[in-house]
Amino acid sequence: MIFEPSKLEDKKFRNQFAELVSVYVRLVECYAEKNALTIPDITIYSTEMLKEMKQMGVIDKLHNVDFFEKNVGTDLSHRFRRCIAFAVTHSKGIGKLLDNLSNYKRHLLQIQEFSSGKPTIVDFFAGAGGLSCGFVKAGYRVSFANDFEEVCIQTYRYNHPEVPASKILNADIRSIVDHIEDYVTEDIDVVVGGPPCQGFSSANKQRIIDDPRNELYKYYIRAIKKILPKFVVMENVHGMLSVANQVVEDYESISGIKNGQEYSYRVSYKLLNSYDFSVAQARERLIFIAIRNDIIENQNITPDDIFKEISFRNIDSKSFVLKDALDYIAPLRAPRIKNQNEVDSDTSGKKIDVNHFSGDDSPYLRLINNGRRIPFVFNHKARYLNDINYDIYRLLEPGNDATDAKIADIMPYKHRLHCFKDKYYKLIPDKPSRTITAHLRMDCHSHIHPFQIRAITPREAARCQSFPDDYLFLGAYLKTYMQIGNAVPVLMAEGIANVIKQHLL
């Protein structure tokens, strides 16, 4: 379920509930704007409207319209009432636009998906769902996903309506691994994930298992031992390369018995760059692929063979650069007044807005959007700039950084350039984007737009991560940067998934 009115007494859930209602309202408002239609004022709920609200799940037998309106507020409930009346009247034209916000529609999709016969994945440390999105695009079904960050789970659930909410868990892996069978109730083809990696720096040469900062990695290994999937895909930072052989030891020490058969694993690793998967970003990640012994024997395949197939497929893949990700999206101005991040504006952008382009206007957009025309754009909002940063952004040219002479007089960190050289950097349009990181939630000075006096928006960052344009990131504005920066590029995940899938048929 996407809506659970029974939880509205909890302020935390009330805020999440209201955000989803506001998403519904903005989608309807944008649809009306796009089609030059008027949303009439409505004072009462018709029978059709109440039926739709029950199917959505915003009301039920115990939680009626009065309860709904009390918890979402007067202004939002009034806008919602107008919009749901409009949506009922224009349901044919609206089509599937609002399906992600309907408990009923999601349930029907989940039934269909469960019986699809697709290969299954479990995604630990799923974040906002980059890995899952890539595997789903490649034809997999998510059996279970978890993450510790609540906002990531909100985003994941909205964008994966085919997965039951009970199978997308906001929980620490340490609290669920010992009874993982309560959540993973079927045979799993692939376990994927990127456990946090604080202890994998190049300066750390000790055994991983002895570093308490890598406790979550060890729990990931324990989960694999309990689930015993056919394949495992683990991604991590370049720094983990220094201890990669220790990781290999850990994987190859896994053994377990399932259905009377003993299983073990072989594993290989390789540095892969998202740019080679047609992502408009240079993002190097260390990928481990482990294969269960029976699959190795039956398929006559090794992890090294999988990496060779991935490399072979990428030989003819088309390359894209930053400009491809920044094209065909509305120009914006950075707000100059503080505390405007959550405020929608015609000049600085909106969380949900009409897309004045078609959504498939270039080869890169066609690729990340699966050739679909997407009439709306999500999370395209510029962030606040103070006077000093505005002048720095204005003076720098693509490729310039904090050491540039043009900003020497106003550079606030000039006494720390030895460690903050990249604090300010204007991106180069005809090269792939530099790596999108979660640090963007703190500031975006390292990712200054090459043509406009502002940082890149969350949507532009998401395009650099190859997320489709209708992948909506929920939660506070700055947390959207965190969700996007921590994700695995979707096209990279899809490329890996496609090769593994050949050996699951």
Active centre residues (catalytic): 197
- Look at residues 376, 377, 392 and name the one whose alpha carbon lies nearest to residue 444: 392
Return the CA Rg of the chain.
24
**How big is the chain, counted in residues?**
505
Contacts 24+ apart (CB under 8 A), 436-441: 436/281, 436/283, 436/461, 436/464, 436/465, 436/484, 436/485, 437/485, 438/481, 438/482, 438/485, 438/486, 439/485, 440/481, 440/482, 440/484, 440/485, 441/478, 441/479, 441/481, 441/482, 441/485
DSSP state of 400: -
Which residues make Cβ contacts (< 8 Å) with residue 183, sequence separation at least 6? 144, 146, 167, 169, 176
Distance CA 85, CA 108 (A): 23
CB 436 within 8 A of CB 447: yes
Outline where DSSP puts E strands in 275-323. Answer: 284-292
Assess contact for 134 and 496: CB atoms under 8 A.
Answer: yes
Report how far Cα 47 is from the mean position of its chain's Cα atoms.
37
231, two tokens: 């394949």
Which H or E run contains 392?
Answer: helix 387-395
* CA–CA separation, 52 and 45 (whole Å): 11
Q: How many CA atoms lie within 13 A of 369 on its CB side?
A: 20
Strand-pairing partners, residue 141, are 120
Q: Give the 3-state secondary structure of residue 379.
A: strand
CA 37 vs CA 98, 283, 344: distances in Å: 17, 43, 21
Q: Helix or strand or coil: residue 310? A: helix
Instruction: Check if the beta carbon of residue 239 is closer than 8 Å to that of residue 197.
Output: yes
What is the distance between the alpha carbons of residues 332 and 30, in angstroms, rounded to a whole number? Answer: 18
Instruction: Read off the tokens for 121.
Output: 């994945």
- Which is nearest to 216 in space by CA: 122, 121, 124, 123? 124
Instruction: State the Cα–Cα distance between residues 312 and 502, nearest whole angstrom.
Output: 14
